[in-house]
Structure 1
Amino acid sequence: MNFDLTEERQMLQDTLRRFLRDRYDTETRNKILASDTGMSADIWNELAELGVIGALFTEEQGGFGGKGFDIAVVFEELGRAGVVEPFLDTAVLAGGLVADLGTDDQLGLIEEIIGGTVQLAFAHGEANSRYDLTRVNTSATEKGDEIVISGRKSVVVNAENADHLVVSARESGDQWDAEGISLFLVPKDAKGLTVQGYALLAGGRAAEVTFDDVTVPASARLGAAGKAFDAIETRTAYANVASTAETLGAMETACTLTKDYMLQRKQFGRPIATFQALAHRFSDLLIEMEQARSAVILAAGHLHADRKERELNISATKNLIGRVGRLVGEESIQLHGGIAMTQEYELAHIAKRIVMADHRFGDVDHHLERFIALSAA
């Protein structure tokens, strides 16, 4: 089987890698992280002009990609450079849900998202939900031609910069039921909506979002009432492909930095890369990296398969990437010594990104249990 990129994807990868190599160094990122927004509007607009956001949507949705391998190509490069701008949250998650479920009027947002003029955030997780996608306590009550939303969402990435929030709320059923969950497109300036933001350890910003009787028209609903869970689960699968590809790119950077350091750092008159014990440890990392790449390819290739096959491959990949990522992060830091912990050195940020990625959309233990449950079903 041929796993080489198509000509179009190779051009996308080359263009994105060249741009990020020239424009996104450690000093630039540290300035972005220290800013109030936690992102660079200039970088966002320039990447939108390059077509990066368009590559995350299908032609029918107004883009030119949108398949598993398109997403993997883009996010591997974003991970390689340690990009903190919220492409996953605006395009893959919230934007993807609008594209999947939106009415003709709502779909008008997609063109603006692809053009880089509108940002979104997906407000789904709650304080007690952990990794369970069905646990939604935020309520949506229909009153005539309006919907009143009440509740609180936790760790909503990009909420401060978003123009609109895609909000999950329960219209019927128990807090654990898949049935009864709806999605709503809520403007950020809606009355009763408050956002309390904070910086994330791995870069970017998130917020606690409170809905105090936020009233929106019934036309703000995305899709049918109470039937949003399947779309949420599907888009979370897309997000996991993006996240694992991003982590793979970050691991490649960690390994490259480690190799360069081992070739430059000398002890007893020769590079430490020539010491057999260290060489064996680094070789083990490269072997694990190949397995990680195979897993990402497997997840991307099964993104459009039936639900069980798709979710089995997603959970297997998340579990493996989490385990390999922790190994690469720890070994890279140890092989570097103290320099790896300084904020001015690239590995400090990359290692945090690798480790923290395991805690979004389910960690290794969650996905191991989920894989077992799916296999037995």
Structure 2
Amino acid sequence: MAVLSEEQSMLRDAARSWVQEKSPVTAFRKMRDSGVDVGYDADAWNEMAEMGWAGVIIPEEYGGSNFGYLSMGLILEETGRTLTASPLLASGLAAASALVLGGSDEQKSEWLPKIADGSVVATLAIDEGPHHRPEKVEARFEGGKITGRKTFVLEGMAANLLVVSAKGPDGIGLYLVRADDGGVKRQRLQLADSRGAANIELNGAAAEPLSGGFELVEKVLDRARAGVAAEMLGAATQAFETTLDYLKTRVQFGQVIGSFQALQHRAAKMFTDLELSRSAVEAALTAIDNDAPDVAELASLAKAKMGDTFHLVSNEMVQMHGGIGMTDAHDAGFYLKRARAAEAAFGNQAYHRDRYARLQGY
């Protein structure tokens, strides 16, 4: 594990206490059954914002705490444990990163304080097809307006501010679009993991450019990839611990099933993969905080490794729980569905293995 400061340890412990008390998996189940359009509980999100979580990576002069990405990762890990649905990843990390890295002083002053206090939900609108391909962009920015289409936009129904990738005079870059602009049309998507997402059409929507071009796009995406990997780490860890508890208590053929060597081997495989994944995730977040030159490689490594691990652990959770694991009454299905959706977010394992190889010169 990364060596945490006293402030980071306190932040992690506070996040753990809050999600266990205020946002257990039963709260996620209740939100899912309610059918709320935005895909999260607004009251819970307001509490998260009041605790300062939405401003963790935002500089103090704009209403944040500037605690850094490892600190944000610790919070996301804890929310991942209980499958807490919120705009924290999309707004407090991804979109906030775009403004911090590429926004003008005026843009930062206008939007970052509102993102930090939760009064504005912002999100990235990058992909235009079924797969993550940020370099393939057809949306165009001309004359101060954007025309194009974006797919699978996380928190797309709740967002007040869209950070949109589009082709401009100098190539692909990021642009700010107000979601209430008359040129913005949204279509709600119903994803397997019951989170909020939308397809968005931009028909001459007014836009403001951020500075940085495609380099900014990649920097922001790497931060989002490390963040979602941290959330996946929390979910996979909880899925493993829940399964391990079951192995220690479930009796079959007169024996606790955890005494069966075949199941012990499978549990050991999950444990070692989780430890390796934790190292990869924490390395990526620390590299971002240190502005290291290998952030891109480490972000892809973390996302690819965490995708494989969460896929394995969520499968094993269902299989080792047997018949009950196949039912909606048990939480195992929630973790499996979240694994599949999170794997695809900001690039799946195949995308990141290929990207890592290319970054290494292969």
TM-score interval, smaller chain:
over 0.9
Unaligned stretches of 5+ residues in structure 2: none
Look up the match of 2:238: 253
Aligned to 2:210: 222
How is 1:70-219 mapped onto 2 (pairs within 5 angstroms)?
70-107=71-108, 108-127=110-129, 130-142=131-143, 147-172=144-169, 179-216=170-207
TM-score, normalization by structure 2 = 0.93
The answer for the alignment partner of 2:68 in structure 1 is 67
Instruction: Quote how far apart the aligned CAs of 1:59 are.
Output: 3.5
2:297 is aligned to: 312
Check the 8 A contact 2:53/2:92 in 1, yes or no. Answer: no
Paired AA for residue 175 in structure 2: F
Matched residue of 1:209: which SS? strand
What corresponds to 1:272 in structure 2?
A: 257
Change over 3 Å in CA distance of 1:281–1:183 after alignment to 2: closer
Superposition map of 1:222-241 within 5 A = 222-223=210-211, 227-241=212-226
1:342 CA drift (Å): 2.2
Matches of 1:235 and 1:307 in 2, distance apart?
15
1:342 aligns with 327
CA distance in 1, matches of 2:127, 2:149: 9
User: How far off its partner does 1:250 sit?
Assistant: 0.6
CA shift digits 1:187-231 (9 cap, x unpaired)? 112112111111221231211111122245xxx2223xxx42111
- Structure 2 counterpart SS, 1:376: coil
Question: 1:308, 1:374 within 8 Å by CA — same for their partners in 2?
Answer: no
The residue type equivalent to 2:114 in the other structure is: E
Per the TM alignment, residue 244 of structure 1 is displaced from its structure 2 partner at its CA by: 0.9
Distance 2:358 2:61 in 1: 35
User: 1:85-128 CA deviation, whole Å, 9 max, x = no partner?
Assistant: 12111121112212222233322221111111111121121127
- Whole-angstrom distance in 1 between the partners of 2:292 and 2:278: 22
- Of 273-282 and 240-249, more deviation after overlay is shown by 273-282
CA shift digits 1:125-148 (9 cap, x unpaired): 1127x3222211111112xxxx12
For residues 96 and 2 of structure 2, what CA distance do their matches in structure 1 show? 28
Aligned-pair CA distance for 1:168: 1.9
Q: Indicate the residue corresponding to 1:12 in structure 2.
A: 11
- The 8 Å contact of residues 37 and 157 in structure 2, kept in 1 or not, is answered as no
Gaps of 5+ in 1: 173-178
Partner residue in 2 for 1:176: none
Corresponding letter in the other structure for 1:103: S
- Identity, in percent, stands at 31
Instruction: Determine the C-alpha separation between the residues in 1 that align with 2:44 and 2:306.
Output: 28
How far did residue 3 of structure 1 move? 2.7
2:341 and 2:38 map into 1 onto residues whose CA distance is 20
Contact kept, 8 Å, 2:164 with 2:177, in 1: the verdict is yes
Aligned-partner Cα distance in 1 for 2:102–2:361? 31
- Equivalent residue letter for 2:209: R
Check conservation: 1:163, 1:187, Cα contact below 8 A. Answer: yes
Partner deviation per Cα, 1:280-332 (whole Å, 9 max, x = no partner): 22122111111111111221222256675111112222221122222212222
Q: CA distance change for structure 1 residues 300 and 215 in 2, over 3 Å: closer, same or farther?
A: closer
Measured on the aligned residues, the alpha-carbon RMSD in Å equals 1.9
In the TM superposition, what is the alpha-carbon distance from 1:355 to its structure 2 partner? 3.0
User: Who is 1:31 aligned against?
Assistant: 30
Kept in 2: contact 1:38–1:199 (CA 8 A): no
**Number of aligned pairs?**
359
Q: Secondary structure at the match of 1:328?
A: helix
The DSSP-based 3-state class of the residue aligned with 1:113 is helix
TM-score, normalisation: structure 1:
0.89
